[in-house]
Structure 1
Amino acid sequence: MASGNFPEDLVREILLMLPVKSLLRYESVCMSWYTLITKPSFISAHFNYNAALKKSHCILVKRSLPEHVPPTESVLSFLSDEISGDDHVPPTEIIIPHYNHFLQMVGPCNGIVCLTDHLVIILCNPSIRDFKVLPAPSFNYPQGLFSRTLGVGFGFDPHSCEYKVIRIAELYEDDENWGYGFHSVNVEIYDLSTDSWREIDTIVPYVWYLPCSELLFNGAFHWWAKDEDHGGESILSFHISTEVFQQIRLPDICAAPDGNERAFLILNESIALVLFDPSEQTCFDIWLMTEYCIAKSW
């Protein structure tokens, strides 16, 4: 692609330096610019370029509209630590209509946030106030089996320049006479470029959602999971590029359920595990995994 007398590489470098709002206007200049600007690889490069320049930090908060009872719309709000200057991010609110207040945030990844209530999955770009509702998976499960979402992950594959959503689902039987019966765990992946779902043939442990217990780190997504081999609990990771799962053991003192609340976070460029008693708000323990995926490094 070339634009006038400008080579493709130069056009790309110039566009990388523009703010998002300008890029949205320039999408309509010509088809070649639209194709470039909307490529996942360009979106990722643009985010990384601007993230390296900016010194301000933003917090993305999800809340419900208080005037709606019960709440029927969710709002994403930016909070910035900058008071003034060119890097200031003004207060921004994005309304996600017709979806309940139980939407949880997954990610973010390259400025894109995944929202889900474990029934509906939405990809949202808060900077341009745009969102996309993903199509529901349409797999033919064995007769008599139903699907229920256990965990959702989201990330970018730099090798294929593809955004992927991972859905870990429980297949179960719901018999009128025998009631609920667990069958198996299914793994499904959504590719943004094809707007479609596919299954991968693998065996994974049972995962469950806990607040602040899902995160993207080191090219992999992580969930809280059952430790089938040792009993108790563990961390399940999924590498976005290789699509390989790995189970990470927890410190022995943390692996067994003990009534404490727990959360994942990234601290000093490592995964950290926070344990705290909900009735005691002045004390908590932090375990840091100093070598990624090495259980002995906790």
Structure 2
Amino acid sequence: MISQLPQDLIEEIVYRVPVTSLRRLRSTCKGWYHQALFKDPRFIKKHFDKTARQYHALMLFGNTVCPMSSIVDRVTRVVSIYPHRLALPHRDEFVSLSEAFHCDGILLCSLLMKTMIVVWNPFSGQTRWIQVTQLQDHYIGAYALGYNNKELCRSYKILRFRCQYGKLAASWGWGALNVTPEPEGNFISEIYEFSSNLWRNLDSVLPDQAYLKPSGGVSLNGNTYWMSCNKKGHYSLLSFDFSTEKFQRLCAPFHHEPCHIDTRVLSVVREERLSLLYQSRKTLEVEIWMTDEIETTFVSWSKFLRVDLLGLNHCFSDSMSFSIIDEEKKVVVCCDEAGNFDFTMVWIVKEGEEYRASPDISVDGGVQAWSIPHLSVPRLFGYVPKN
């Protein structure tokens, strides 16, 4: 009987189980799950140290980090494979991860208290609490985490800039990014360096005003990218290079200028490329583009898939999240809020022939959708543990 095996041998066996498969051991090895093994910090750390370097498809759900298989397997209750949640100091509350910024397996979380942010590694449990200057009521702070990719040893930095909701932004939930110096020395943007534990002012400016969704940024190779729009309604990919500490406008893949209410959401493909989901509010057609090459001042795109959602009459919101789970077969998982806000809708989108996502889910005709009873929309992301 496996239950009669020595404890050290059991641990060696479980160490070799991929982290996204640990949840399945609940039904076959209840003794391991309900006993202290899976909750032991020593076991958790050692498991991640021994886990092979593999791509983990994960999601942020409420205040936990979960495997994406929790929704792809069509479960009704999401189970976290990481027993640690991030608690606020001196409070009986957990930190919400709904607006967390992900970079390199590390989460940057802004808090409602507005004078503190926290950087958290959910895999190791390490945290760093960082004090910030509180902004005026009509401004919000937007954050990005990155590193200088020109250096051999990664030294992380945090970009902070203030956003003011303008007339254009108010109609579709985007913030106005203004990094032009203002009179009276008002705060514009700052950089926090982990190596010095200090904030300093940032001199980088944009040629003109940009509108972007503060929580819509993604990180790739240490740099941050947003979809942005200027006052004339021209769209572009806005990047921030943490090595030069400068913003740069890059081209978007659109052949026409989209309507400002169309959906544009960025994601990262296996920590290698950017992907962009675009949906027209008029036709409900979904296009997903991927970058072929990204340089400092140049980006090239190619269309990954196209799916028509007109028959389902659904338009994705800008708070949706998506992840390409099978690049070869062109399969995408999307999560979005439901109409009554009591559920989260999960979509499997597939271009072309029928696809079986799991024993219970078969995708035919382009889309399969179902709901799960959760109020917050999951944030999907992928991560490859570093050696």
The verdict on a shared fold, with TM-score over 0.5 as the criterion, is yes
Partner SS state of residue 259, structure 2: coil
Q: 2: CA distance between counterparts of 1:191 and 1:224? A: 25
Alignment of 1:68-79 (within 5 A): 75-79=63-67
Q: 2: CA distance between counterparts of 1:239 and 1:23? A: 37
Asked if the contact 1:154–1:165 (Cα under 8 Å) also holds between the matched residues in 2, the reply is yes
Matched, 1:247 2:249: yes
Structure-2 residue corresponding to 1:112: 106
- Unaligned 5+ segments in structure 1 are 1-20, 26-46, 64-74, 83-88, 140-144, 173-181
Q: 2: CA distance between counterparts of 1:100 and 1:279? A: 38
Asked if the contact 1:104–1:117 (Cα under 8 Å) also holds between the matched residues in 2, the reply is no
Asked if the contact 2:226–2:266 (Cα under 8 Å) also holds between the matched residues in 1, the reply is no
Structure-2 residue corresponding to 1:54: 53
Q: TM-score, normalised by structure 1?
A: 0.59
Aligned in 2, Cα 1:262/1:170: closer, same or farther, shift over 3 Å? Answer: closer
Structure-2 residue corresponding to 1:217: 220
Structure-1 residue corresponding to 2:204: 202
Aligned in 2, Cα 1:60/1:219: closer, same or farther, shift over 3 Å? Answer: same
Instruction: Please tell me the residue identity of whatever aligns with 2:160.
Output: R
| Shift, 1:162, TM fit | 1.6
Partner SS state of residue 85, structure 2: strand
Structure-2 residue corresponding to 1:131: 127
| Shift, 1:287, TM fit | 2.1
Q: 2: CA distance between counterparts of 1:196 and 1:289? A: 35
| Shift, 1:81, TM fit | 5.5
| Shift, 1:125, TM fit | 1.4
| Shift, 1:91, TM fit | 4.2
| Shift, 1:61, TM fit | 1.9
Structure-2 residue corresponding to 1:85: none
Asked if the contact 2:292–2:300 (Cα under 8 Å) also holds between the matched residues in 1, the reply is no
Q: 2: CA distance between counterparts of 1:92 and 1:79? A: 12
Partner SS state of residue 275, structure 2: strand
Q: 2: CA distance between counterparts of 1:276 and 1:164? A: 33
Partner SS state of residue 123, structure 2: helix
Higher RCO (C-alpha under 8 Å, 6+ residues apart): 2
Structure-1 residue corresponding to 2:4: none
Alignment of 1:25-174 (within 5 A): 53-55=52-54, 57-63=56-62, 75-79=63-67, 90-97=81-88, 98=93, 101=96, 103-109=98-104, 111-117=105-111, 119=114, 120-137=116-133, 148-149=139-140, 151-158=142-149, 159=151, 161-170=154-163
Structure-1 residue corresponding to 2:75: none
Q: 2: CA distance between counterparts of 1:124 and 1:272? A: 25
- Unaligned 5+ segments in structure 2 are 1-40, 71-79, 166-176, 181-187, 303-387
| Shift, 1:210, TM fit | 6.1
Deviations 1:100-138 (A, max 9, x none): 7475110132x3211125834220111233433211138
| Shift, 1:194, TM fit | 2.1
Asked if the contact 1:165–1:191 (Cα under 8 Å) also holds between the matched residues in 2, the reply is yes
Asked if the contact 1:154–1:164 (Cα under 8 Å) also holds between the matched residues in 2, the reply is yes
Asked if the contact 2:264–2:277 (Cα under 8 Å) also holds between the matched residues in 1, the reply is yes
Structure-1 residue corresponding to 2:22: none
Matched, 1:191 2:187: no
Structure-2 residue corresponding to 1:10: none
Q: 2: CA distance between counterparts of 1:263 and 1:274? A: 5
Identity among equivalent positions (%) equals 18
| Shift, 1:56, TM fit | 6.0
Asked if the contact 1:146–1:171 (Cα under 8 Å) also holds between the matched residues in 2, the reply is no
Asked if the contact 2:142–2:214 (Cα under 8 Å) also holds between the matched residues in 1, the reply is no
Aligned in 2, Cα 1:248/1:151: closer, same or farther, shift over 3 Å? Answer: farther
Aligned length: 224
Aligned in 2, Cα 1:260/1:183: closer, same or farther, shift over 3 Å? Answer: closer
Partner SS state of residue 274, structure 2: strand
